[in-house]
A and B are shown apart, each in its own frame.
Chain A
C-alpha cells in the first residue's frame, strides 16, 4: 500500500470511528444526542453554509487575517533575525528583552490589542503578527547563528563582500531553519486566530464557532473546527511543497 492510500485510509477510519460513536450515542442515549452531532448532521450544516456562501466568507476572512498577520510577522522576523544574529551589540541588547517577553502567553495580551486597535481587522492582524513574531524571530536568529563559519570563510576568500555573504551564504545556509520557523509561525497563527475571532468579530471561522455556541448549534461548532483543520493542512501542504523545492539539495542524496 502506498503512502497516499495509507493516509486516505487513516482519514476514513477516523471518520468511521466518529460516526460509530455518534450514532451509538444516539441509539443508546448516553448523552443528549444534540451534544454529539453525527458526521451527517455536521455535513448538512456544512452544505447549508456552503450553499449560502457563508462558509466561503468565513474561510476567506480567516485566511486573509492569517496571511496578513503572519506575512508581516515573517518579514519582520526575517529582517530583524538576520540583523540581530549578525550584529553582536544588538544581540546583547535584544536577548534579555526577548527572554522576558517570550514566555508570556500571547493570549494574555489579546485584550490589550482590542484596546489599542479596536474591534476591527487591525486588532486581529496585529495580534496574529505579535503572536507569531517572537518564536519565528528567535528561531530565525538561531539558525543564522548556526551558519558554519568555515562556509563564511570559504566565501570571503573567494571574494565575497558583506552583502554577498548575506545573500549567497547566510540566507541559503540558514534556509532549512528559516523554513521550520515559518511553519511553526503558521501553526501558531491558526492556533490564535480562533481566539482573536471569538471577540468582536462579524466573520471568520472563530466567529462561526462562537455563533454555534450562542445559538446552541454543536454541529456548527464542529463544522467550524473541521474547516480550520482543512485550512491548516492546506497551508502546511503548501509550505511543504515550497520547502521541498527550496531544499532539493538536502534530499538529493
Chain B
C-alpha cells in the first residue's frame, strides 16, 4: 500500500463556549493524527471535552482555533464521508429499520436494487435481517444501536465517529456489541474515533487509547495497544493495559473532584 498522510489530522484545535470575554475553555490545544483504518479511543473525565472534540471532527461545532483535516481537506461541516453513531441512537422513529439504513443511499439517489442490496448486506452484518420491517419503538436499545451502526456503514463513510455508542446499554449487551464492532471492523476497515468512559471497552477495541486531562481537555497520554486483533478480556496483558490506563485516568478524575 502507498504511504499516505494520516486520515484525520486534528491540528491545534481549541474550543471555548460562551460570550467573548466570559468564555469558558472546554478544549485546549489538541493535536492528534489518526491513521487510515486505525481505531482510536478517547478516554477522559466527564466534562473534559470528548464530545466537543468529536463534534468538531463531525463538523457539528466550529473550533475556536485550529483545524481538522480529513484526507488533507479541512472540515467545514457535516458530510457523508464522516459517519456518526450517537449515544442516544438518533434513529428516525417514523422510518422502519430498512428505511433508516436506506437513508444515506436514498439521499445519494442510488437505484432501488442497489439500495436493497446495501440494506440487506448491512442488516445481515449486524444480525437484524429478521427485523427489517420494524419501527425503532419496537426495538431494544442494543438492537437500535445495531441499526444506527448499520445506517452509518451503509453510507460507506471512510471515517466513523462514535460518542459513547454503548453507554446506554447494560453490561452484557455492551460486551456483545463490542464483539460485533470488533468483528465488523475486521471486515470493513474504517477509520474510527470512539469516545468511551469504559477503560475495558477502550482496551478491547482500540489500536490506540488517548487519555485526556480534566477540563479544559488536553491530551495527557497516548497508549498504543499492542494486542492481537481478536482480544481476550482476561489475558494478562489486557488487564495490565487496563490498570496502567486506570492509574493515569484516576489522577485526572481526582482533579475534577478536588
Contacts and interface: CB of A to CB of B under 8 A. Distances in A.
B90 A250 contact: no
B108 A159 contact: yes
Nearest to B60: A153
B142 interface: no
Given A154-B86, A159-B104, A249 B79 contact: no
A6 interface: no
A129 B204 CA distance: 62
Q: Which of A155, A247, A249 has the most B CB atoms < 10 Å from its CB?
A: A249
A175 B94 CA distance: 10
A172 interface: yes
A156 interface: yes
B17 interface: no
A249 B137 contact: yes
B24 to A, nearest CB: 21
Contacts of B103: 155, 158, 168
A250 B93 CA distance: 8
Interface in A137-181: 148, 150-151, 153-161, 164, 168-169, 172-173, 175
Sorting the interface of chain A by its residue count into under 10, 10 to 19, 20 to 34 or 35 or more gives 20 to 34
Contacts of A253: 135, 137-138
Nearest to B92: A151
A249 B135 contact: yes
A252 interface: yes
A153 B78 contact: yes
A252 B135 contact: yes
Chain B: interface secondary structure?
Answer: loop
Contacts of A151: 90, 92
Most chain-B CB neighbours within 10 Å: which of A151, A153, A158?
Answer: A158
Nearest to B83: A157
Q: Which of B84, B93, B134 has the most CB of A within 10 A?
A: B93
Size bracket, chain B contacts: 20 to 34
Nearest to B106: A168
Contacts of B58: 153, 157
B109 to A, nearest CB: 11
Given A150-B88, A252-B134, A252-B137, A159 B60 contact: no
Contacts, number: 73
Nearest to A154: B90
B155 interface: yes
B183 to A, nearest CB: 23
A164 to B, nearest CB: 6
A153 B94 contact: no
Contacts of A249: 93-96, 135-137
B146 interface: no
B155 A159 contact: yes
A154 B55 CA distance: 12
B107 interface: yes
Given A150-B86, A154-B86, A158-B155, A173 B79 contact: no
A46 to B, nearest CB: 44
B78 A156 contact: yes
Interface in B230-249: none
Contacts of B79: 157, 159
B134 A153 contact: no
Q: Which of A148, A150, A161, A173 has the most chain B CB within a 10 Å cutoff?
A: A150
Contacts of A159: 79-80, 104, 107-108, 155
Interface of B: 58-60, 77-80, 82-84, 86, 88, 90, 92-96, 103-104, 107-108, 134-138, 151-152, 155
7 contacts: A151-B90, A153-B84, A158-B83, A159-B108, A159-B155, A168-B103, A250-B137
The 5 closest A-B pairs by CB, nearest first: A159-B80, A156-B78, A154-B90, A158-B104, A253-B137
